Amino acid sequence: MRQTRSRRRPVAIDLFAGVGGLSLGFEQAGFDVLAAVEYDPVHAAAHRYNFPLTEVLCRDVKNIGRTEIISAAHRGWRLHHRSGPAWDGAVDVIIGGPSCQGFSTMGHRNQHDERNDLLLEFVRIVTEVRPRAFCLENVPGLLQDKYSIVRETALTRLRSAGYRISGFDKVVNAAQYGVPQNRKRVVIMGALDTEVAPLTPSPTLVSVAESFAQLPDASDNARLLDVDKAPISDFPQSNWMSESSVYADFIGGCRKDPADLSRPRIWDSSMLTNSRLSAHTAESIRRFSRTAQGTVEPVSRFYRLSLTGQSRTLRAGTGRERGAFTSPRPLHPIRDRVITVREAARLHSFPDWFGFHITNWHGHRQIGNSVPPLLARAAGQRIAQALETSPVRGRAEIRLGDESLLQVSMGEAAPLFKALPEEIPAQRARSSARVPIAKE
């Protein structure tokens, strides 16, 4: 006799959470994210803004264990369930994308990079907490032979703990899961005593033009050189690309996505947010104007987006502990400027209600470090199926956090979470060595 599928909302814990790309994707797949762990206070503040019902631990994963994580999840349960029974402590899934720079095929690769150890820290937490399932995202470089020892150590420990694993032997492209961006990643999933079906790509691709549809063009408002948001009513009614698309309708909140089971957010749809313009010199603008769509401007090495294609991978650059280098940002397909944070968010499948830090440096980095929510949703749907649960749609609206959370400096954000000084990313002086340019 077949077991009746549960229709409750399963619960998740997000490690290395950043601003919450995985958190959002799994919430859209029907999970309640009770707790998130992120060591950078600025990113933790943005996560709290977007997920006010999730308890955020601003800690280094290396220094915490099951007790701290489960205690945070209990608090997150109470935020999600103001009344009703207490949580029984059973975790359905742990998700996370450990820092991938050590495995990255971009720039310098170092098999002895200490960040490679974060993969085993993820495994340690999974084996201590013993969720019913896990989802691990990382870069394709993880599958290279030079990282076989750390990779096989991780897989062996997970298998020994009873997890049946899928996805460790292939690379997926976010573009094949509804994301208008070519972003190749490894998505490893596992569950106790059951198989998680592999992700199934879709032949339908979303273009840059579809992702930008009905999005006001920040170039039409010079005030956005000084601020990051403006009323949509300030922009011309006829945008440079006014035609609608299903993707833009879902992302912009004009139409309800039937596959999105997340809790609806209360947000001000009359404002264009995270759209601060970058100031360019007249010479740069001249060079940009001579760069065709789908080609690279030879001096800056900025790639100009093609309206009919997908974006190249959006890069994060490095954190302050690695010299705070900025990664090249794509050029707008029509305007002679780099894209805004909101345009990058559209290319990453973040909805327009989702907020990022008001500065371009933090905002672009928060997106580049994130798992595209639609890719995360696809993984969450597979895990929900493996756990034989049919999650219900979140109905109660959630009011986003205070906007000050998107404006804080590192020094202002740390006290909000009682972050330990020794765990906060320390500023490191930039090396005089040239940083390699990222290429596809």
Maximal CA-CA distance, the chain: 72
In the numeric block, the tokens 């200490």 are attached to 114
Give every residue of the chain whose pLDDT is below 50, as ranges.
1-4, 104-113, 318-324, 429-440
The predicted structure's pLDDT at residue 395:
81
Q: 3-class DSSP state for residue 36?
A: strand
Interatomic CA distance for residues 315 and 320, integer angstroms:
15
DSSP state of 241: T
pLDDT tens digits, one per residue of 262-298: 999 999 999 999 999 999 999 999 999 999 999 999 9
Which residues, 6 or more positions from 411, have their beta carbon under 8 angstroms from its beta carbon? none
The predicted structure's pLDDT at residue 435:
38
Could you give the residue numbers annotated as active site? 100
Render 5-24 in DSSP notation, one character per residue: PB-S--EEEEES-TTSHHHH
- Structure pTM? 0.92
pLDDT tens digits, one per residue of 51-65: 999 999 999 999 999
Q: Say if domain 11-202+368-423 classifies as CATH 3.40.50.150.
A: yes
41-50 vs 360-368: helix crossing angle, rounded to 10: 80
- Which long-range contacts (C-beta less than 8 Å, at least 24 apart) are formed by 405-411? 405/45, 405/46, 405/48, 405/49, 406/45, 406/46, 406/49, 406/355, 406/356, 406/357, 406/358, 407/357, 407/358, 408/41, 408/42, 408/45, 409/42, 410/40, 410/41, 410/42, 410/320
Residue 387 in contact with residue 32, Cβ under 8 Å? no
In the numeric block, the tokens 């150590």 are attached to 153
pLDDT tens digits, one per residue of 27-39: 999 999 999 999 9
Dihedral over alpha carbons 345, 346, 348, 351 (to 10 degrees):
80
Q: 3-class DSSP state for residue 292?
A: coil
DSSP state of 392: P
